[in-house]
């Protein structure tokens, strides 16, 4: 399995699905999406895991097999006709998908600075003008405030800790 971002959501979702079906993959980290796609097209890997948007530019040279998510967003039908989600393809099977970005500050940063950064981030990022600039293949959800971000991080920990543990990658 070729991956460009070892340990990222698409890679861990593929590992989770393989575990559910008792499959084993040897993983080759190819650093970037173009290198991963070159590995697939050149026969160095039999299957590649990556972002949906990266497949479009390779046209009929790449055949997407499954969406490593349980949710079907409207753009999937437009860009990947006939490609099903894990839940649609395999009743009772599911994978988690968790891709988030954000800002962090050093622990102990004064509360008034944290509050100002949260307010500025929200003003810049949680508005229609900003959302209009986001490519249509990206699902955007604003999560603001320290408590909401902590809860989101915990959701990711809960989702991926068992997978990382099974791979021997979880620090205890």
* Tens digit of each residue's pLDDT (9 = 90 or more) over 44-53: 999 888 766 6
CB 45 within 8 A of CB 2: yes
Each residue's pLDDT tens digit, 59-118:
788 888 887 777 766 545 556 778 888 878 887 776 766 666 677 889 999 999 999 998
- The answer to pTM > 0.85 is no
CA distance 79 to 60: 12
Is residue 10 within 8 Å of residue 3, measured between CB atoms?
A: yes
Q: Report helix, strand or coil for 59.
A: helix
Model confidence at 146, pLDDT cuts 50, 70, 90, reads confident
pLDDT at 112: 95
**Tokens coding 136:** 């249509």
**Residue 70 is encoded by which pair of tokens?**
């349980």
pLDDT value for 138: 61
The whole-angstrom separation of Cα 9 and Cα 50 is 9
CA distances (Å), origin 163, targets 13, 49, 71, 97, 141: 9, 16, 20, 12, 25
């Amino acid at each position: 399995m070729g991956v460009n971002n070892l340990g990222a959501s698409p890679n861990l979702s593929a590992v989770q699905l393989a575990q559910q079906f008792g499959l084993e993959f040897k993983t080759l980290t190819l650093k970037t999406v173009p290198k991963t796609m070159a590995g697939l097209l050149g026969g160095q890997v039999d299957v590649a895991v990556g972002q949906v948007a990266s497949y479009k530019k390779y046209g009929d040279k790449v055949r997407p097999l499954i969406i490593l998510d349980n949710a079907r967003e409207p753009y999937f039908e437009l860009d990947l006709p006939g490609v099903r989600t894990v839940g649609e393809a395999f009743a009772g099977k599911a994978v988690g998908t968790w891709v988030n970005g954000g800002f962090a500050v050093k622990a102990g940063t004064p509360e008034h600075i944290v509050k100002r950064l949260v307010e500025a981030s929200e003003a810049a990022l949680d508005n229609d003008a900003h959302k209009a600039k986001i490519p249509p293949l990206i699902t955007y959800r604003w999560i603001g405030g320290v408590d909401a971000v902590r809860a989101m991080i915990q959701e990711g920990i809960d989702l991926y800790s068992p997978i990382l543990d099974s791979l021997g990658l979880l620090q205890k």
